[in-house]
């Protein structure tokens, strides 16, 4: 719950999920639809339950469902990128400051949703790399393809990419 809350606050969301309304399955977090609540007597074999919010890793890995909601929220912090940068971002790359369409100068440690043509593709954190600001890719939708190809069940970030690979 702490990682989820930190993530939501970090991107400037006003969403505040009620802890009691959250369903936890291993490291995954869900909000269960009313029609699903208590449908079957057992939760023992449950692997998915309604609105998937994301999973706790070292950072919170939001679901694409949550990202889509956050992209619609006016208060969230968004970095608009062109299609070429967007494509490289979903290929697990970081983004150099000059390719980030943000208002004002981004601050170190700030989280941004990465948006291209109105579609939210993931999010990242502003970091410094060799004297330049970059948006460190923390999650992108290309993960759908990468997780299917992974031999193990290991998912999410980080470590899949060399530091400093950016666009």
Considering beta carbons, is residue 13 or 116 the nearer one to another protein?
116
Place of tokens 């023992």: 44
- Residues near another protein (CB under 8 A) are 32-33, 35-36, 39-42, 45-52, 63-65, 68, 86-87, 90, 116, 119, 121, 141-142, 144-145, 147-148, 153
Spatial neighbors of 132 by CB under 8 A, at least 6 apart, are: 96, 97
Residue 130 beta carbon to another protein: minimum distance, rounded to whole angstroms: 30
Considering beta carbons, is residue 5 or 28 the nearer one to another protein?
28
Q: Give the C-alpha separation, 68 to 25, whole Å.
A: 22
Residue 153 beta carbon to another protein: minimum distance, rounded to whole angstroms: 7
Whether residue 65 contacts residue 53, with contact meaning beta carbons closer than 8 Å, is answered with yes
What SS3 class is residue 83?
helix
Residue 47 beta carbon to another protein: minimum distance, rounded to whole angstroms: 5
Considering beta carbons, is residue 41 or 104 the nearer one to another protein?
41
Considering beta carbons, is residue 120 or 126 the nearer one to another protein?
120
Q: Give the C-alpha separation, 153 to 148, whole Å.
A: 9
Considering beta carbons, is residue 33 or 160 the nearer one to another protein?
33
Beta bridge partners of 134: 96, 127
Residue 63 beta carbon to another protein: minimum distance, rounded to whole angstroms: 5
What SS3 class is residue 140?
strand
Residue 38 beta carbon to another protein: minimum distance, rounded to whole angstroms: 9
Neighbours of 97 (CB within 10 A): 17
Half-sphere CA count of 107, side-chain side, radius 13 A: 4
């Amino acid at each position: 719950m702490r990682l989820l809350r930190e993530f939501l606050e970090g991107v400037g969301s006003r969403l505040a999920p009620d802890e009691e309304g959250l369903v936890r399955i291993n490291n995954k977090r869900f909000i269960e639809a009313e029609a699903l609540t208590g449908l079957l007597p057992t939760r023992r074999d449950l692997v998915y339950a309604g609105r998937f919010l994301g999973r706790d890793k070292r950072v919170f890995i939001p679901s694409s469902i949550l990202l889509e909601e956050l992209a619609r929220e006016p208060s969230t912090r968004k970095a608009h990128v062109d299609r070429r940068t967007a494509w490289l971002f979903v290929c697990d790359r970081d983004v150099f400051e000059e390719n980030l369409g943000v208002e004002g100068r981004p601050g170190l440690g700030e989280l941004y949703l990465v948006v291209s043509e109105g579609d939210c593709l993931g999010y990242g954190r502003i970091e410094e790399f060799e004297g330049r600001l970059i948006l460190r890719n923390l999650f992108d939708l290309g993960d759908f393809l990468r997780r299917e190809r992974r031999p193990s069940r290991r998912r999410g970030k980080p470590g899949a990419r060399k530091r400093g690979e950016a666009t």
